[in-house]
Amino acid sequence: MIARKRGPPEENAIPEESERPKKLRKGHVAALILATGGSKDIPLKNIKPLAGVSLVGWVLRAAIDSGEFDSVWVSTDHDEIEKVAKSWGAKVHRRSEEVSRDSSTSLETIQEFLKENPEVTVVCNIQATSPCLHPSHLKNALKKITEDGYDSIFSVVRRYQFRWKEVKKGSDECTEPENLDPAKRPRRQDWNGELIENGSFYFATRDLIMKEGRLQGGRVAYFEMEPEHSVDIDVDIDWPVAEQRVLRPGVSFAGGPCDTDSGVVSANVSDSEASSAKGSIHSRDTEGFSVSIHSRDTAGLRKLQKNDLKVVLLISEEDVLRQMRFKLKMMTDCEVMLVGEDPLKDVQSMVEKEKLDWKDVAYMGCDAASASCLHLAGLSAAPADAHPDAIRAGKFACKQGGGAGAVWEFVEHVLLQKQQARLQMKQDLIDRNCF
C-alpha cells in the first residue's frame, strides 16, 4: 500500500524529513461525494438505481458503514440528488454556480467545501460511480493518514497490460513500446504489473488541498484495490457490467439482516395495494375493505422464515383493519402488528424489545409515514407504486407494485445480501488468519 518500495536503510541513518512519521493526526475527517445532475451520457446517473440501490447510495453506504467519518457529505447542484443524499443520512453541500460549470474541476469544488466547513482537517473525495467500493477499503486507507502520518492516499488497481505509443515519422504512423522490451516479453508471473489510478477515492489533508492546491502530494501513498472492486461507470455500456459485479458474492456488502441470523423483516400492508394483480390472494371484510397479497409474496415471506428471519406484518388504520388481522395471519403465517399513524414509534419499541439495532432490520413500506423507518433500516424498499416519499427513502427500488410481487423482489434482495455478507465474513476471517 506504500507509494514506493525502499531498500534497507543504512544503519543509524537519519530519515529524510518527508519520510519521518508524523504524530497521530486528530481532527474532523469528512467523506465528500461529488454528484452533479448534468451527466450527458446517462441522465441523472448518480441517482439511477443499480441492482435496486441508487448509484450514489452504494458509496454512501460504504462511507457510513466504515464508521470512520465524522461527517458524510454529498456536494451537488440538483434537488433530486439532494433528496436521495439526505434519505441516506448524508449532509448536503449545495455547490455554487462558480463550481458547477462544465469547466469546473473537482479540486475547486472540494476547496469550496473546505472553506465552508473549516472544522474539516482531512477529506476523502469518494467517486459516486464506484459502486463496488467496500467500507474496509476506506477504513484501511484512512489509517495511513491518521496513524502513519501521510498527507494523501489514493486508490489504485494493478494492471498487467503492455502499452504502446503513437509515433509519427513524416507521413508514416508508427508505434513504439512504452513499458516493455518486445525482444524480452516478460511472463505475467515475472512482472509486478503497473499501478493505475482507479478513481474510487482520494484522501488528502486540508493543508495540501488549500495551501498547495492539489489532492496528491506531500508524503503520499497508494491503496491497492482488487480488480473486482475497481469498477467505474462512465458510459451506458458500463451499467450492466457494474450491475452484475455488485451482485457477485464477496464483492457487494450490506447491513441489516444480511449479517445476522436474528434480524427482523417488517412489511407494511395497506388496503390501497393493488387488488387486481394476477396471482394475488384477496381477503375482504363485511364492510368492503380488502387486503391483497400476491401468491409469490406469501412464498417469499415463508422463505424468509425458513432462513431464520422473523417476519412481522404491520397494518395501520386500526379501526378499519382490526378484523383483518386474523385473516392476514392465516394468509401469511406471519406475526401481525397494528401500528399508529407514525409507525416509527411502534417499530422502535419492537426493535428495542428484540434487542436489535436498526441495521438489523429490513423494512418495506408504501406510504409517506413509513419514510422514517425506511431511512433507519439497514435494508429497506418500497413498491413501485408507493408514495414518492417512501420510494425516495427506500434503499432498494422494486420494479413491481404493492400486491403484485414487490415483497418477493425485496425478499430475494435481502437473502442475497445475507449470503454475500456471510461470504465476506468468511473471507475476512481467512485474511485475519493469514497475517
CA-wise closest residue to 379 among 361, 365, 357: 361
- 3-state SS, one letter per residue, for 151-175: CEEEEEEEECCCCEEEEEECCEEEE
366 vs 108: CA distance, rounded Å: 40
110-118 LR contacts (CB < 8 Å, sep 24+): 110/32, 110/34, 110/75, 110/209, 110/215, 111/209, 111/210, 111/213, 113/32, 113/73, 113/75, 114/206, 114/209, 114/210, 115/210, 117/30, 117/93
Helices assigned H by DSSP within 67-182: 79-87, 106-116, 135-146
Where do we find the cell 454528484?
35
CB–CB of 318/432 below 8 Å? Answer: no
304 vs 411: CA distance, rounded Å: 7
For residue 35, CA distances in Å to 39, 84, 385, 408 come to: 9, 11, 27, 32
Where do we find the cell 473546505?
114
Handedness of CA 104, 107, 110, 115 (dihedral sign): negative
CB–CB of 38/101 below 8 Å? Answer: no
CA-wise closest residue to 125 among 34, 205, 50: 34
94 is catalytic: no
Angle CA(112)–CA(223)–CA(259) in degrees, nearest 5? 95
CB–CB of 79/152 below 8 Å? Answer: no
72 vs 126: CA distance, rounded Å: 10
DSSP 187: P
56 vs 127: CA distance, rounded Å: 9
CB–CB of 410/362 below 8 Å? Answer: yes
Catalytic residue among 20, 94, 163, 185: 185
The three grid cell numbers given for residue 375, joined into one nine-digit string: 431511512
| Burial degree of 109 (CB within 10 A; 0-12, 13-18, 19+) | buried
Distance of CA 21 to the CA centre of its chain: 33
Residues marked as catalytic: 185
